[in-house]
Amino acid sequence: MLLLVALGACGGAQSALDPGGPAAARIEGVWWVIFVGAALIFVAVAGLFTLAVVRGARRAAGAGPRSRPSPDGHAADPIRWILAGAAATVVVVAALFVYALGETAALDPRRESADIVVAVEGRRWWWDVAYLEGGDTIARTANEIHVPVGARVELRLTSADVIHSFWVPGLAGKMDMIPGRKNVTWLRADRPGTFRGQCAEYCGLQHARMAFLVIATPRSEYDAWLTRQRAEAPRPVGPDVSRGFDVFRAHCSLCHAVRGTPAVSRRGPDLTHLAGRRTLGAGTLANTPANLAGWVVDAQNVKPGSLMPPISLEPAQLHDLLAYLATLR
C-alpha cells in the first residue's frame, strides 16, 4: 500500500516518468533499464541468500551433509563463487556504462540545429529568460519559458551568482548553470502542456522556491505570445494607472525594467509583461492581484532571504501601483 502512495508521484507536471519530449523519453528509457535490471539482480541475490540461509539452518539441525563433496571428491571451493560474483558485477556495470554512454551521446545538443534559442540565467532565486534571434535579445521574461510544440529549443545556460541547475524533468535532463561558463542543452515538447521545472542544485535559502514553467503551445499560439513579449509596455493611461506608474518609478525601477519606459535595471525580473505570467516569486505564488499586493509590500514574509526588500506604501499608492502593473499584459 505504501508503494502505491509513492507511485502517485510518477505522473504530473514535474515527473521524469511522464515524458513530454524525446530527450526526457530517452532518459526515462535509461531509468527503466536500470530499474528493471537492478530489480532482477536484487531478486537473484536475495534468492541465493535465502537459499544459503535455509541450507545452513538445515545443516545446523543435522539434516544434511556438513559439506557437499564435488564429483572429484574435494569440497566446493568458496573462492570460485567469489570470483564468479565479482565477474558478473564487472560485466553488468561495464554493459550499463557502455549503454549509458550511447544514450548520453544521443542527447548531445550539437547533433541537430535549433529552431529557437533561449538564454536562461540562474539568479538567486529566479530565472531570467531571454529569447535570442541572430544573437540579439528580442524578448525578455522571467520564470516562464514558452515553446512551440515540436520545435527544438536550444537553451544557453549561465548563472549570475552561484551554481544552479536547470531541470525540467518532463522534457529534458539536468544541466548545471555555473558562473563564468556557458552550458548548452536542448529540449523539445511533443505535446502541448505545462511542464514544471525546478532548480536542482542547492543554491541557498530559497533553493526550493526556485521553480519555473515551460509552457508548450501550438506554433500559432506561441507566435502570438512572442509578438506580445517583443512589444514594449503600453503607455500609462488614466489617473490611477499614471499615478501607479509614478509609484513604480519611485519604488521599483531601481531593480526592475519595463521596456518602453526609463526603467531598465536588470537586478530583478523584467516586468514588461508581468501581468501575463502565471506565478510570482519563481513559482512561489499564483499571479493574482491579492498575491501581488502581498508580494510587493512584504516579499520577505513570502520568500525570506530573497533580494526583494519590503516596500512601504500607503494603501492608495499600492492600489495605483497594482492598477499600473495590471496593464503590463
- Strand partners for 204: none
The verdict on 210 binding ligand CUA (CB under 6 A) reads yes
The verdict on 270 binding ligand CUA (CB under 6 A) reads no
Instruction: Please identify which residue in 164, 243, 259, 273 interacts with ligand CUA, judged by CB under 6 A.
Output: 164
**Complete DSSP assignment for 28-58:** HHHHHHHHHHHHHHHHHHHHHHHHHHHHHHH
Residue 125: CB minimum distance to ligand CUA, A: 6
The verdict on 129 binding ligand CUA (CB under 6 A) reads no
* Pairing verdict, β 193-198 and 211-217: antiparallel
Burial 296-307 (b: 16+ CB within 10 A, else e): bbebeebbeebe
Residue 312: CB minimum distance to ligand CUA, A: 29
The verdict on 170 binding ligand CUA (CB under 6 A) reads no
Residue 186: CB minimum distance to ligand CUA, A: 20
Instruction: Please identify which residue in 82, 202, 232, 301 interacts with ligand CUA, judged by CB under 6 A.
Output: 202
Residue 174: CB minimum distance to ligand CUA, A: 11
Residue with smaller CB distance to ligand CUA, 201 or 320: 201
Residue 127: CB minimum distance to ligand CUA, A: 9
Residue with smaller CB distance to ligand CUA, 122 or 244: 122
Hey, what's the cell of 63? 539434516
What residues between 172 and 201 interact with ligand CUA by CB under 6 A?
A: 199, 201
The residue to which cell 507566435 is assigned = 223
Is 270 exposed, middle or buried, given 0-12, 13-18 or 19+ CB atoms closer than 10 A?
A: buried
List Cβ<8 Å contacts ≥24 apart for 295-304. Answer: 296/321, 296/322, 303/125, 303/206, 303/209, 304/205, 304/206
Residue 104: CB minimum distance to ligand CUA, A: 23
Residue with smaller CB distance to ligand CUA, 96 or 162: 162
Closest CA relative to residue 147, chosen from 118, 127, 183, 176: 118
Q: Which residues bind ligand CUA (CB under 6 A)?
A: 122, 125, 164, 199, 201-203, 207, 210
